[in-house]
Structure 1
Amino acid sequence: MNKSNIDKILILILTLFAFGLRVWQLDNVPPGWRDDELINSLVISQKVLDGDWAVFYPDASGHEALYHALNALTLALLGVNVFGIRLLSAILGTLAIPLIWLFGRRLVGRWGALVAAGMLAVSFWSLMYSRFGLRHIQTPFITLLTFYFFWAGLTVSSERKASRYFGMAGVSMAAGFYTYFAARGLPLIWLALMGYVWLAARERWQARWRGMVLGLVVTAVLILPLVITLRQQPEAEGRVTELAIPLVAARQGDFAPLGKHIRITLGMFHANGDDEWLYNIPHRPVFSLPIGVWFWFGVIMAGWQALRPFLQRQSANHTALASALLLIWWLAGISPGFLSVPPASLGHTILAQPAVFMLAGLPITLAHRTNRYFAPLLVSVLILVTGIRDLPDYFTNWPQRGLVRFLYKADIHDVAAYLNTHPELTDFGITGLLAGPWDRLALTVDLHKPTLFRPRWFNPERALLLQPSVSFGGYPDVPFAYEEAFWPLPDVPGTGEYQLSQVTYDLNETAEPTCFTNGLCVVSAVYDTETGFLELGWKVAKPLTLPPMPLISNPPPPGVYAGPRLLVFAQMLDTNGNFLAGDDGLWVDPTTLYPGDLFVQRHHLPVNMDGGMVAYGLYDPMTGERILTKDGRDHLSINLQKEEQ
């Protein structure tokens, strides 16, 4: 069997292994759902399914459309579940493996390409972005495709074929613009490469400059709809402005933040990496120190090879051009880490990812020239050492960290796992901070039969669900207003930080509840003049009449209201009915309530004020409109003067 066939078998095995790593335990690592994933799929990709086609969506600080169009296909085919949301990223991350090998053979040789593909397959960096439903992972694939075609156009003998390849590279580069803002650095790399070819390989420049310009023109034409859209809604790209803090400081004459970010980003490969728990074990570098030194040796080699044509006053050969491509690609790809926060961000620098691993494969060519039997051994060692470090870090160490579990709602994931094995528990409460609908949706997505369960969400800082009388409590770690009401059920194991508990609380219900037109009824109202607590008991008399509550991203699109549509107002008024103080809130998710449900919540009003009355009721905070009682009143009240007498 010849070397070519052996390599093809090896890369096939490696690709299948890489795909296995990207789908194995996909429902458990990451340990749950983060808000961004749910927003990406359930809000933005859902717009594609709903027929709301666009090249750019202003939701969540702005999203290009291509990844969401593809994600809509997986959602339509597989449903809203772990594979519907995450499989696209796993596929894109896997496809980068054979592509980096195919391209790497042309740039860094046979053994260097195997190093790049093998290290990428097992790397923490690639696994992180290949296993959740965010658009970042499409960038390495598109970047590889772009420069694969660019290189083919630069090196092919036929000028006609060269123009075709450059045109295909232009199409691929345009696709990058429709994927993620980091891909906007691709034209800068392209232009820098054109400059290098003009300076170091003038004959090749004369033969290929028209094709290179053609590729740029193709890109410019294809991205025109996106450019027009962004010019019409510049506020939609708020995220870019939010992150460019070092650049803003430099424009004001303060270069210290920029210098710090450059230093940290250059150290991300061997010393000090991304500090965000969402994407990394904080400050963990991309490579271990020995592999990091090996990588920097590759960078130095590339720099030397790229400079040789100028030092020796000769035209750049294949090696010099390949080295220049990798070096320019790497520098341009990590530059967002220089210019934005946080420095060394694995997400912002993902454009450089393929170049990083090919630079790590570059020194293997020198080893192969020294001893042809040494190269296969060194390839195995580099991949093995990377895997031994990165695989346990990703699959074991990172997901077990407390802050990672919090950010990915791992405790909610654990509740879902319990419910999936206990289908008899259909009606229950569950505590949360109610910061948007994302906790509720995280639980729904993880349930095998979501229509079987009817969870009621409430914030334990202010509220308590009395009926149903069992709730998952104990989480999040905040002061519970009614902590004494939770009695953990015996013989029921904890689900993460949650504990299934019986809820017992003595609510003094009034003889005649007062009902509002939307279906909520006040059954108890007590104001404690010593503590300032207004305790209101509520019962759901019928299916609630609620205004439309569509899913809105966080942050919402500019000008779109994303707040609640139903709140309880509680006001302290003086004897003349003038407002003194208030405390508004509804600490139960009204979309999760059913007829017969009963809950109590606590409002904080000041004591020692000349208050004559406490007024309370319901209203829509978006419109300010109060909801009337069935007998036409827009509020209810407690006469404090009468109580004092």
Structure 2
Amino acid sequence: MSMNFQFTLGNPKIRTTCYWAIVVFAALLRVLSLDRVPLGFWYDEAFYSLNALSIGRNHWPIFFVLDGHPAEPLFIYSLAAFFKLFGSTVFVARLHSAVWGTALVALMYPFAKRVVGERWALLACLVTAVFRWPLHFSRTVFRAILPPVFVLLVVIFFLRWREKRRLSDAVLCGASMGAGLYTYLSFRLVPLLWLGWVAWLWWRGEIRWRHDWRGLATIVFTCLIVFAPLGWDYLRNPMHFTGRMDEVSMFRKNVEIRQPDGSIKTEVLPKTPGEVVRDLASNAWAIVKMWTIRGDHVARHNLPHEPVFDWASGIVFYFGFVWCLWQAGRNEFAFLLPWWVVVFSLASVFSFGAPNILRMQGMIPAVVVIYVLGLRTLYELAVHWLRQPVRVLLISSLVVLFLVLQLDSYFRRFAQSPEMRREFLYDTFYKPALQVRGIAPQVNSVYVPADLGHHLTFRFLTHEVQNLQYYTVDADLPTTAPRHFAIVTTVPTISAAQERGRDLLAWLRRLRAEHHSTVPILVESATGTTEVPWTEVWVVR
């Protein structure tokens, strides 16, 4: 089957111009309304940002643990460099992800052109640019944005080594694989992906140990050398290696056990073999359904339960996947692409909450190319029934439908979603932090409830505020603080005070505190969504 689509794109200069136009378009999509979509700043985003701010002054960790959560270092160090260059703001943190996301679009071309030819590769870049899966994570601060970039580097350099057998490409392939292990947990699956690919090539006789052992050994050796510092850290601190896996493991369960005194205690216990098999099968089935039936439920990743594809685009994807399975014994990429999807699916199969598209981002390049293969297959099969202009119109219509639905889903439906607003803590922590930043320069001190002030989102957003003080309802309230000062109250703080027999609002009245501002929160009821006060700022002069 021909690997070239006869677009009339003219000479290579025109294709190069189109390529860079798509990359620029992708970059613009990744910064468009970046301060409003998504609205707020999630806990994990603040986690990476605070870790990035901690770097320097003799603190150069090879692994990060904050608030009990472990994280690999590469994303955090690159974010720290951005903060150093452009300042430590929410916009800069997300701009940093946008750069990585744009790099993914740019890298799609050298990979896709080897699979489907140069003309179809441009389409693969365009699809990646607007695909809401990579688009969303290019606009948020999650280290899981990195695996698709680094797995593409591994694949591209391995293909280059196969084409010319240059040792330099083997070194770059191994270095990319080793560096990728510094990105995110799911990248640990890439050596499995690569070994399966090598095994297929050996089975087909396209790799011969006698001639190719030096290149393969160079890839492995370089990977191990690059990975060695992190590997040594894992040996010294096993929790760094297993910590996050234990947090999301499908082999454990939380069980509530009643104690002799009648209290309930939650313990983590191993699942039975039957429970493990049942739950893994349930996760695998959830991943099968995510393409066109029922997607990720997490509103930080997606419109809750929105499938990856609409049905028309999903059928094209299925068409490409079936073509790959049909050709997998004869065509290298027909084997590689489904294998790639299966391997990265394991990141969600073996963790709770499947399907989790954040953990499976490493498969995005393969998913895009399979979709494009579906379009190409439809185009070529229709040659017997339709003239070329009609076939081009058909493919163009499918692509336009995909583009419109993806962009509408993200920039309109997702942007207006109340679930997204809640998940990104817009009302509960983001707006109160802005409220505190606004009042802080006007007073000597700002007193905030400890449960608000210690939350990572609030901490990052107020990290430059020097006059913050924390209080709890169990401690003495600031009656002798130098005037004038501000006090922030929240609904949970007032309720907690009442449970302890304290009237926080009456205490504020005795101080003759002046009400300064209120941040409301959206509350759903039987009559609809209404706003109720959540945090309030009071000033004591």
Residue 123 of structure 1 corresponds to: 131
Is the contact between residue 329 and residue 355 of structure 1 (CA under 8 Å) also seen in structure 2?
A: yes
Which of 62, 81, 93 matches 1:55? 62
**Counterpart residue identity of residue 335, structure 1:** L
Residue 195 of structure 1 corresponds to: 199
Q: Distance in 2 between matches of 1:274 and 1:192?
A: 28
1:203-602 → structure 2 map (5 Å cutoff): 207-236=211-240, 237-246=242-251, 249=271, 254-307=276-329, 309=330, 320-369=331-380, 370=383, 372-373=388-389, 376-378=392-394, 380-411=396-427, 412-415=429-432, 426=443, 433-434=451-452, 436-444=454-462, 451=465, 473=489, 475=491, 479=495, 481=498, 482=503, 485=506, 498=533
Cα distance change, pair 344–85 in 1 and its aligned pair in 2 (3 A)? same
Matched, 1:35 2:43: yes
Q: What secondary structure is seen at the aligned counterpart in 2 of 1:52?
A: coil
Q: Distance in 2 between matches of 1:168 and 1:103?
A: 15
**Counterpart residue identity of residue 337, structure 2:** L
Residue 170 of structure 1 corresponds to: 174
Q: Distance in 1 between matches of 2:183 and 2:426?
A: 29
**Counterpart residue identity of residue 15, structure 1:** V
Q: Compute the TM-score of the two structures, normalised by the length of structure 1.
A: 0.67
Q: Distance in 1 between matches of 2:534 and 2:54?
A: 37
Q: Distance in 2 between matches of 1:378 and 1:201?
A: 39
**Counterpart residue identity of residue 51, structure 1:** N
Q: Distance in 1 between matches of 2:401 and 2:450?
A: 42
Q: What secondary structure is seen at the aligned counterpart in 2 of 1:433?
A: helix
Is the contact between residue 415 and residue 498 of structure 1 (CA under 8 Å) also seen in structure 2?
A: no
Residue 174 of structure 1, CA deviation:
0.7
Q: Distance in 1 between matches of 2:17 and 2:216?
A: 35
CA RMSD of aligned residues (A): 3.5
Q: Which runs of 5+ in 1 are unaligned?
A: 310-319, 505-596, 599-645
Q: What secondary structure is seen at the aligned counterpart in 2 of 1:51?
A: coil
Once the two structures are overlaid, the 10-residue window that deviates more, 244-253 or 93-102, is: 244-253
Q: Distance in 2 between matches of 1:357 and 1:422?
A: 48
Residue 242 of structure 1, CA deviation:
2.1
Q: Distance in 1 between matches of 2:493 and 2:25?
A: 40
More helix by share: 2
Is the contact between residue 472 and residue 498 of structure 1 (CA under 8 Å) also seen in structure 2?
A: no
**Counterpart residue identity of residue 436, structure 1:** H
Cα distance per residue 1:543-574 (max 9 Å; x no partner): xxxxxxxxxxxxxxxxxxxxxxxxxxxxxxxx
Residue 639 of structure 1 corresponds to: none
Q: Select the structure with the greater relative contact order (CA < 8 A; seq sep ≥ 6).
A: 2
Residue 15 of structure 1 corresponds to: 23
Residue 78 of structure 1 corresponds to: 86
Q: What secondary structure is seen at the aligned counterpart in 2 of 1:327?
A: helix
Residue 5 of structure 1 corresponds to: 13
**Counterpart residue identity of residue 66, structure 1:** L
Residue 399 of structure 1, CA deviation:
4.6
Q: Distance in 2 between matches of 1:102 and 1:401?
A: 36
Q: What secondary structure is seen at the aligned counterpart in 2 of 1:62?
A: strand
Residue 568 of structure 1 corresponds to: none
Is the contact between residue 364 and residue 375 of structure 1 (CA under 8 Å) also seen in structure 2?
A: no
Is the contact between residue 244 and residue 341 of structure 1 (CA under 8 Å) also seen in structure 2?
A: yes
Q: What secondary structure is seen at the aligned counterpart in 1 of 2:462?
A: helix
Q: Distance in 1 between matches of 2:69 and 2:435?
A: 35
Q: What secondary structure is seen at the aligned counterpart in 2 of 1:192?
A: helix
Once the two structures are overlaid, the 10-residue window that deviates more, 298-307 or 476-485, is: 476-485
Cα distance per residue 1:461-514 (max 9 Å; x no partner): 99977776865656569836347658998997856555786869xxxxxxxxxx
Residue 147 of structure 1 corresponds to: 155
Is the contact between residue 112 and residue 363 of structure 1 (CA under 8 Å) also seen in structure 2?
A: no
**Counterpart residue identity of residue 197, structure 1:** L
Q: What secondary structure is seen at the aligned counterpart in 2 of 1:272?
A: coil
Cα distance change, pair 435–443 in 1 and its aligned pair in 2 (3 A)? closer
Is the contact between residue 320 and residue 377 of structure 2 (CA under 8 Å) also seen in structure 1?
A: no
Is the contact between residue 348 and residue 359 of structure 2 (CA under 8 Å) also seen in structure 1?
A: yes
Is the contact between residue 111 and residue 361 of structure 1 (CA under 8 Å) also seen in structure 2?
A: no
Q: Distance in 2 between matches of 1:71 and 1:212?
A: 33
Cα distance change, pair 479–397 in 1 and its aligned pair in 2 (3 A)? farther
Cα distance change, pair 440–250 in 1 and its aligned pair in 2 (3 A)? same
Is the contact between residue 150 and residue 165 of structure 1 (CA under 8 Å) also seen in structure 2?
A: yes
**Counterpart residue identity of residue 56, structure 1:** F
**Counterpart residue identity of residue 193, structure 1:** W
Is the contact between residue 518 and residue 533 of structure 2 (CA under 8 Å) also seen in structure 1?
A: no
Q: Distance in 1 between matches of 2:395 and 2:475?
A: 59
Q: What secondary structure is seen at the aligned counterpart in 2 of 1:440?
A: helix
Cα distance change, pair 41–421 in 1 and its aligned pair in 2 (3 A)? closer
Q: What secondary structure is seen at the aligned counterpart in 1 of 2:452?
A: coil
Residue 46 of structure 1 corresponds to: 53
Residue 102 of structure 1 corresponds to: 110
Matched, 1:138 2:146: yes
Residue 98 of structure 1, CA deviation:
1.6
Residue 378 of structure 1, CA deviation:
4.9
Residue 353 of structure 1, CA deviation:
1.2
Q: What secondary structure is seen at the aligned counterpart in 2 of 1:282?
A: coil
Q: Distance in 2 between matches of 1:61 and 1:416?
A: 23
Is the contact between residue 115 and residue 379 of structure 1 (CA under 8 Å) also seen in structure 2?
A: no
**Counterpart residue identity of residue 152, structure 2:** L
Aligned length: 485
Residue 14 of structure 1, CA deviation:
1.6
Q: Which runs of 5+ in 2 are unaligned?
A: 1-8, 253-269, 522-531
Cα distance change, pair 476–118 in 1 and its aligned pair in 2 (3 A)? farther
Q: Distance in 1 between matches of 2:58 and 2:106?
A: 34
**Counterpart residue identity of residue 127, structure 2:** M
